[in-house]
Amino acid sequence: MKTSFAVLLLVALLFSTSFLETTMATSSYCDQKCTARCWKAGLKKRCLKYCGICCGACKCVPSGTYGNKSECPCYRDKLNSKGNPKCP
């Protein structure tokens, strides 16, 4: 009985952490992170657009307004059709 309860508790914990990670990348999360990332950009609308796309796909945005892309490898490695970095 105790073993099945422990297994059930462990499964519930695993499901809740995966749900938490998914909800963290909601649009409000991405909006907040991308606003901080793009506030110094010359072309803010473009920066916010591509940052939002990358955040939605990668579920993370590097800190700061430039660089720090090693914090989020998916964000760093996304390329546009010309082979240039897609994410600001």
Closest CA to 36 of 46, 27, 25, 47: 47
pLDDT at 24: 46
pTM listed for this prediction: 0.68
pLDDT in tens, 36-79: 999 999 999 999 999 999 999 999 999 999 999 999 999 999 99
Exposed/middle/buried for residue 54 (C-beta within 10 Å: 0-12, 13-18, 19+): buried
Question: Which of the 8 DSSP states describes residue 39?
Answer: T
Question: What is the radius of gyration, based on Cα positions, of the chain?
Answer: 17
Confidence class of residue 9 from pLDDT cuts 50, 70 and 90?
A: low
pLDDT at 20 over 90: no
Residue 85 three-state SS: strand
